[in-house]
Structure 1
Amino acid sequence: MKALSSTLILTLPALLAGCLSGSKPADTVEVKTTDPTDYTGFATIVETVGSGGYHTSAQTFAAAGMVEMLTGDGPYTVFVVRDEAAGAMAPEQLAAGSSAFDLDGLAGYHVIEGRHSIKELMNSPTMETVGGQRLTFSHWNGEVEIAGCGNADFGVGSARVVEGDLQCSNGVIHVIDQVLFPSFDSLADQIEGTESFKTLVNAAQAAGVLDLLDSDGPFTVFAPTDRAFANFDRSAVSYFMAPENRAELVRLLQHHVVQGRYYGDTMHHQPLTTLGGDTLQVKWQSGAAYIGNAEVIASDFQATNGVLHVVDTVLMPTN
């Protein structure tokens, strides 16, 4: 498992902002649109990407095993990059089995289910990609900017649509000016690499829960900070960390994990069932989200296998 860089681990709000917001484009590029109502006889997404100067994108989809999907009925919305703009994608990195990054995650971050026009993107704050992670959309003067998570190694967090609504028989293609990089860290990576989660890491390692958070998931984690544990009853912490009470520690940590991806805007006032079988009540007060009696102080940190929210209080199971 890999840790986040020290630049990121001390700035949770800054990381969140970088993951969910874009910046105003410096110049203006006209977005070309064509939107017929009958797509019979149009080329497929794979055919269009393979013949239109988007060979780097085509190689990425092929290496990720997505050709069959993007040749099928769909529909899908696909974001591609012209070859001259794909500077971060060296040919050797596109080879199957490359360890530079997760090709499946990278390719999936450029595909959304459904046929979504430029107009729809302008009216949709966020959309979930087929890889599970989200893209965020904003627009100025008719232009669409897409904000992704970015990546500590590649540093690309957002892209601008330079040509849109290229219709295909099984979806639509939008051309962007940069490759979008998702998070390549698992939930376990994020927790281990964040300075303010030392106590949580120690507890998760003792309980064997950290391996779970490195598995496929997806999971939603409500992660208490070290300060949250410091405010917790010290005798309770000692009790849970005792080897003979490992089962209780596992249940305590499972009380902070929910199956599935729940972003801040998808868990409004709905109960969530934890891996331990208990229920977490979600409420909103004065613009802040609360999970039980714990305030969510930072949210929507995306991972390969889920999403992480930071809470200021340790959550206790009912019994």
Structure 2
Amino acid sequence: MNRLSLVAALLSAAALTASAQSSIVETAKQAGSFSTLLTAVEKAGLAETLMGDGPFTVFAPTDEAFAALPEGTLESLLTPEGLPKLKLILTHHVLSGAADSSAAKRADSVTPLSGQPLPLEFADGMLSVAGANVVKADIVCTNGVIHVIDSVMLPNLDDVVETASKVGAFKTLLAAAKAAGLVDALKAEGPITVFAPTDEAFAKLPEGTVASLLKPENKDQLVKILTAHVVQGRVGSAAAIKGGKAPTLQGTTWTITSDEGAVLVGNAQVVKADVYTSNGVIHVIDTVLIPAK
């Protein structure tokens, strides 16, 4: 979708909102089919935000959509312990700015407030967002637009550490993070971008290197290496390639290049990009990045 068509679509939506009578929250209440969504929004402390000026675009799951979640899921999310995940799920349904369906039909994806992109597809006259069908589009409100969807869109609710643990290919990286005392930092709210070397990448280091780095007396060197794999902020591969640089927390700035489909960060090739997590994004690499001494 080109920039001019996106601007035109947003201006069109803005013009429509000028004639609307109710906010997003008020409109949802009047509709009568979003009681679960409204309860969740109240519990997560987002009601005041969605009654503010915005504008916002909300992909609103119906009560039936929430009812289709696995048994006990909603009840768990509404507990005090579940509120962080509930907030992440809800922000996964909200875009900054008012975008009507014509804009969505011409785009490949949109990025909601959760930071995890939503793929868009328009086929056979039906618009779908991350697999959820838009059953009613362009409900115009004073502070944005509602598009009704038939299922709840679930982001990755796991953080960087939890995601890496479940993949199973990052045992050495996780052991190193623990030895360096960086696990809590990698589980924090972030967001962060991690260039994650696989176990095979660590195995390519000279014999004895990993064992040496894991010793308490070499903690400072280990921290230096690991933080050279972390960038502040959630940076997807497209933005990283466009920017051409990866300024890390350690201080080293790696050059990012793309050639014949291969993306390199320093001397490491990205073998899997854009693994989004609750607190950032992981790009899997095949070589450990070693900063200059």
Q: TM-score, normalised by structure 1?
A: 0.82
Per-residue deviation, residues 23-65 of structure 1 (Å, max 9, x unmatched): xxxxxxxxxxx96635245210000112211111111211111
Cα 1:142–1:99, aligned 2, differ >3 Å: closer, same or farther? same
Contact 2:44 2:83 in 1 (8 A): no
Per-residue deviation, residues 65-107 of structure 1 (Å, max 9, x unmatched): 1111110110000011221232217663453415397111111
Contact 2:17 2:141 in 1 (8 A): no
Tell me the secondary structure at the aligned position of residue 82 of structure 2: coil
Output the amino acid matched with 1:272: A
Selected match of 2:97 from 114, 120, 139:
114
Aligned mates of 1:272, 1:315 — CA distance in 2: 12
RCO comparison, higher one (Cα < 8 Å, 6+):
1
Output the amino acid matched with 2:114: G
Residue 125 of structure 2 is matched in structure 1 by: 142
Contact 1:300 1:308 in 2 (8 A): yes
Contact 2:165 2:171 in 1 (8 A): yes
Aligned mates of 1:100, 1:46 — CA distance in 2: 19
- Asked if 1:261 corresponds to 2:234, the answer is yes
Selected match of 1:293 from 267, 278, 281:
267
Output the amino acid matched with 1:298: K
Aligned mates of 1:99, 1:225 — CA distance in 2: 31
Residue 53 of structure 2 is matched in structure 1 by: 73
Matches within 5 A, 1:176-187: 176-187=149-160
Regions of 4+ moved over 6 Å: none
Q: CA deviation at 1:262?
A: 0.7
Contact 1:74 1:170 in 2 (8 A): yes
Residue 281 of structure 1 is matched in structure 2 by: 255
Cα 1:210–1:98, aligned 2, differ >3 Å: closer, same or farther? closer
Instruction: Give the aligned CA root-mean-square deviation in angstroms.
Output: 1.9
Selected match of 1:49 from 28, 33, 36:
28
Residue 28 of structure 1 is matched in structure 2 by: none
Matches within 5 A, 1:144-223: 144-147=127-130, 158-223=131-196
Aligned mates of 1:318, 1:239 — CA distance in 2: 18
Calculate percent identity across the aligned residue pairs: 37
Per-residue deviation, residues 122-170 of structure 1 (Å, max 9, x unmatched): 22222221122221112113321111xxxxxxxxxx2111110110000
Tell me the secondary structure at the aligned position of residue 169 of structure 2: helix
Unpaired segments ≥5 residues, structure 1: 1-33, 148-157
Output the amino acid matched with 2:269: E
Tell me the secondary structure at the aligned position of residue 57 of structure 1: helix
Matches within 5 A, 1:56-95: 56-87=36-67, 88=69, 92-93=75-76, 95=78
Tell me the secondary structure at the aligned position of residue 154 of structure 2: coil
Residue 7 of structure 2 is matched in structure 1 by: none
Aligned mates of 1:76, 1:100 — CA distance in 2: 22
- Asked if 1:123 corresponds to 2:106, the answer is yes
Aligned mates of 1:40, 1:200 — CA distance in 2: 55
Output the amino acid matched with 2:90: A
Residue 306 of structure 1 is matched in structure 2 by: 280
Contact 1:39 1:167 in 2 (8 A): no
- Asked if 1:249 corresponds to 2:213, the answer is no
Q: Per residue, is there more helix in 1 or in 2?
A: 2
Tell me the secondary structure at the aligned position of residue 167 of structure 1: strand
Cα 1:248–1:126, aligned 2, differ >3 Å: closer, same or farther? same
Tell me the secondary structure at the aligned position of residue 251 of structure 2: coil
Aligned mates of 2:44, 2:150 — CA distance in 1: 21
Unpaired segments ≥5 residues, structure 2: 1-11
Output the amino acid matched with 1:256: H
